[in-house]
């Protein structure tokens, strides 16, 4: 275990499964104590070991789970308070999200509102509570999870909801970097299709996966630890002069992928 993030405390929303789990584990592996903020403890993927247990088994970091609905201001504030009790909030990762597999012409306002609430409102609340704690302390780093859908459209059911929400997250990231700097850095990471996530488990297709992998420069699909590595960089002092940035972690898919 490295000490790159030693003496730092991080909150990861949606940290029980998928990308959030990969980020939480990566932060812990580099020395950060982690508050896993989610509405469930059990991952919705093949490996059902709770993230809390995985961190404790694989690292020397401290970890705690808090029940957190990111659309509830009190829940989000509670997650921040728990991190402060750990010793101070240094890193906040807004990862929690949902999907809707709706056809556009049959979609509803309720579906749209739910998507915006979880992704965009949830990120807003997370940024707000993180900034309050960080500005009362020694500053910190906020990492928002946007998506390659910000840069490149695709026609999967529900992608229009998802792209709208993630586009808002990217724009908010840029604005907050200016608003909260220099004490708080605000950046985003933008994954493309990532295996070992709930979406992949529910909707993955081997043929589609193979075709998508062939469109990347890396010749493979992303896994949660790929996003974890990017989050570790943005959380650490290695990125001390990086803010208001959104980093594609997509194996080159957006810029070199097929039509």
Average pLDDT over residues 101-107: 86
For the chain, the maximum distance between any two Cα atoms, rounded to a whole number of angstroms, is: 51
Paired tokens of 79: 């997650």
What's the pLDDT at 93? 98
* pTM summary value: 0.95
What are 118-149's pLDDT values in tens digits? 999 999 999 999 999 999 999 999 999 999 99
- Write down the domain spans for the chain: 9-250
Exactly one of 65, 162, 193, 241 is catalytic; name it.
Answer: 162
Between the alpha carbon of residue 247 and those of residues 95, 113, 150, 168, 228, the distances in Å are 15, 27, 11, 15, 13
Of 3-7, 13-17, 183-187, 212-216, the poorest mean pLDDT is in 212-216
Query: If we measure between CA atoms, which residue out of 66, 62, 55, 63 comes closest to residue 26?
Result: 55
What's the pLDDT at 207? 65
The domain made up of 9-250 has a fold known as Rossmann fold (3.40.50)
What are 50-84's pLDDT values in tens digits? 999 999 999 999 999 999 999 999 999 999 999 99
Paired tokens of 81: 């308070």
How far does Cα 130 stand from its chain's mean position? 14
Q: At what angle do helices 224-235 and 18-29 cross, to 10 degrees?
A: 50
Of 14-18, 99-103, 142-146, 192-196, the poorest mean pLDDT is in 99-103
**For residues 2 and 67, which has the higher predicted lDDT (pLDDT)?**
67
In order, the DSSP letters of the chain are: ---TTTT-EEEEETTTSHHHHHHHHHHHHTT-EEEEEES-SS-SSS----HHHHHHHH-S--EEEEE--TT-HHHHHHHHHHHHHHT---EEEE---------GGG--HHHHHHHHIIIIIHHHHHHHHHHHHHHHTT-EEEEEE--GGGTS---STTHHHHHHHHHHHHHHHHHHHHHHTTTEEEEEEEE-SBSSSHHHHHH--HHHHHHHHHTSSSSS-B-HHHHHHHHHHHHSGGGTT--SEEEEESTTHHHH---
What's the pLDDT at 200? 52
Indicate if 241 belongs to the active site.
no
Q: With 60 as the cut, is the pLDDT of residue 114 above it? A: yes
What's the pLDDT at 203? 52
Residue 124: how many other CB atoms lie within 10 Å: 18
What's the pLDDT at 196? 74
- Say whether the peptide bond before residue 116 is cis (omega within 30 degrees of 0): no
Contact in structure between 67 and 45 (CB atoms under 8 Å): no
Contact in structure between 216 and 253 (CB atoms under 8 Å): yes
Q: Tokens 């780093």 appear where? A: 141
What's the pLDDT at 258? 57
What are 211-248's pLDDT values in tens digits? 888 889 999 999 999 999 999 999 999 999 999 999 99
């Amino acid at each position: 275990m490295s000490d790159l993030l030693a003496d730092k405390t991080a909150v990861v929303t949606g940290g029980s499964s998928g990308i959030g789990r990969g980020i939480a584990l990566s932060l812990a592996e580099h020395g950060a104590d982690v508050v896993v903020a989610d509405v469930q403890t059990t991952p919705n993927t093949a490996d059902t070991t709770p993230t809390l247990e995985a961190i404790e088994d694989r690292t020397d970091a401290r970890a705690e789970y808090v029940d957190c609905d990111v659309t509830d201001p009190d829940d989000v504030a509670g997650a921040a308070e728990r991190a402060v009790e750990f010793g101070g909030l240094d890193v906040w990762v807004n990862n929690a999200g949902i999907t809707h597999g709706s056809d556009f012409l049959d979609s509803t306002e309720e579906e749209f509102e739910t998507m915006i609430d979880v992704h965009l409102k949830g990120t807003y609340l997370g940024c707000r509570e993180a900034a309050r704690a960080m500005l009362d302390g020694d500053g910190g780093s906020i990492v928002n999870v946007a998506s390659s859908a910000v840069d490149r459209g695709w026609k999967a059911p529900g992608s229009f909801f998802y792209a709208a929400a993630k586009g808002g997250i990217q724009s908010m990231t840029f604005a907050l970097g200016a608003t909260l700097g220099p004490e708080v850095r605000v950046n985003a990471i933008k994954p493309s299709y990532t295996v070992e996530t709930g979406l992949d488990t529910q909707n993955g297709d081997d043929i589609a996966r193979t075709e998508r992998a062939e469109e990347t420069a890396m010749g493979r699909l992303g896994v949660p630890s790929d996003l974890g590595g990017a989050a570790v960089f943005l959380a650490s002092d290695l990125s001390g002069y990086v803010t208001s940035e959104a980093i594609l972690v997509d194996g080159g898919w957006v810029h070199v992928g097929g039509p």
